A = this chain, B = another copy of it.
Amino acid sequence: MKFVSRFLAVDWGTTNRRVFLVEDGKVTRTSRDPKGVTAVSAGSFPAEAQAIRAEFGELPMLMAGMVGSTLGWQVAPYVPAPCGIAEIAGNLCWIDDRTAIVPGISVVDGGRADVMRGEEVQLLGAVAAGLVPGDALLCHPGTHCKWVTMTDAKVTAFTTAMTGELFALLKKHSVLARQLAAPVNPGPAFLAGVEEGGRRDLAASLFGVRAAKMLNLRNDEDSAAFTSGLIIGSDVAARVSGASEAPVYILADPNLAALYSAAVEARGGTAIVVDGEAAFLAGIIAIGKHLS
C-alpha cells in the first residue's frame, strides 16, 4: 500500500531532476532543478534523497531514469523485453524498504542489442493512461530516439537511433558546423531533407549539404533544417512504411514532436502526439499501484 495513497515520484535524468508529490493518484506538488545525476557526486545520493524528503515529507520514493545507471545511485539491472508494468514493478532496485529505482529494459534480437533507461515509465504509462493502445508503435525522440513496439501493453521490441546526438555532433564539431547554426522548423527545407533521408545513405547525403554550399545551391539558413530533416528522415524511413495504417504515437516536447510528426506524415504515416508528463505520471502511479 506504501506507493498508493501518498508517495514521491522522482524523474532523475542526466542533467535535470523532477520531483512529484503524488496523493491519491494526483500530483499535488512538484519541483524541477538541474540536479541531474551528473551534478551529484557518487556518495551524495542518500543526502539528496533526505533533502527531497525534508522538503516534501517522509514518504516512500520511486525513482526513474539515469539514477539507476552506472552514473547514478545504484545500478538497476535491465529487465529483458517483453516487459510491462508488472515486470518493472517486480524488478525494482530497492535502496531500502521505502526507496526504489525503476529498472530499464533490454532487448537482444539475433545479435542486435538495445537498451533503454528512463523512457520505459513514459512509454508504459502512455498505455496505462489510455493515451496509446496496448498494441502500437511509439516514438520517443531525443538525443537517442527510441522506437518501441508495444504488444498487449508490454514493450516487446525496440530500436534506438542516435539521431539527436548525430545532429549535435555535426553542429558542434563537423565540417558542416558553420552551416547548421540556424533554428530548425518543419518547413520546406526540412521536408526536402526528409525526402533525401529516405535514400538511407546518410554519410553521402550529409556531404551533399557541404557541396550545396560550395555550389551556392542552398542558403545556410536552410541547411540546418535540411540536415535535421535528413537525419530524422532516414530514421523515420527505417521504421515507418507508408503502407502501414497504424499511427505512430510520439512522446516529445512540442518542437521535436512537430519535426517527427512532419517526417512521419511526409512518408505517408499518421502521427499522434502524446503528453509525455501525463504519461510519466500515469506510469509511475501504475508501478506504485502494482506494488500494493
Q: Which A residues lie at the B interface, using CB under 8 A?
A: 78, 106, 108, 111-115, 144-145, 159-163, 165-166, 169-170, 172-175, 196, 200-204, 206-208, 210-212, 214-215, 217, 231, 234-235, 238
Q: Choose among B114, B196, B201 the residue that contacts A211 (Cβ–Cβ < 8 A).
A: B114
Quick one: which of A173, A214, A234 has the most chain B CB within 10 A? A214
Q: How far is the CB of A237 from chain B (nearest CB, A)?
A: 9
A207 x B78 contact (CB < 8 A): no
Q: Collect the chain B residues with CB atoms within 8 Å of residue A207's CB.
A: 114, 144, 160-162
Bound: A106/B208 CA distance, A = 11
| Closest CB pairs A-B (n = 6) | A161-B203, A161-B204, A160-B207, A113-B211, A200-B200, A201-B238
B78 x A202 contact (CB < 8 A): no
Q: How far is the CB of A125 from chain B (nearest CB, A)?
A: 23
A212 x B113 contact (CB < 8 A): yes
Q: How far is the CB of A256 from chain B (nearest CB, A)?
A: 15
Q: How far is the CB of A207 from chain B (nearest CB, A)?
A: 4
Q: How far is the CB of A158 from chain B (nearest CB, A)?
A: 10
Bound: A207/B210 CA distance, A = 25
B215 x A203 contact (CB < 8 A): no
Q: Collect the chain B residues with CB atoms within 8 Å of residue A174's CB.
A: 162, 165, 169
Q: How far is the CB of A234 from chain B (nearest CB, A)?
A: 7
Q: Collect the chain B residues with CB atoms within 8 Å of residue A170's CB.
A: 169
Q: How far is the CB of A117 from chain B (nearest CB, A)?
A: 9
Listed by A's residue number, 11 A-B pairs whose Cβ atoms lie within 8 Å are A78-B215, A106-B215, A108-B217, A159-B204, A160-B207, A162-B207, A166-B206, A169-B170, A200-B238, A202-B234, A203-B234
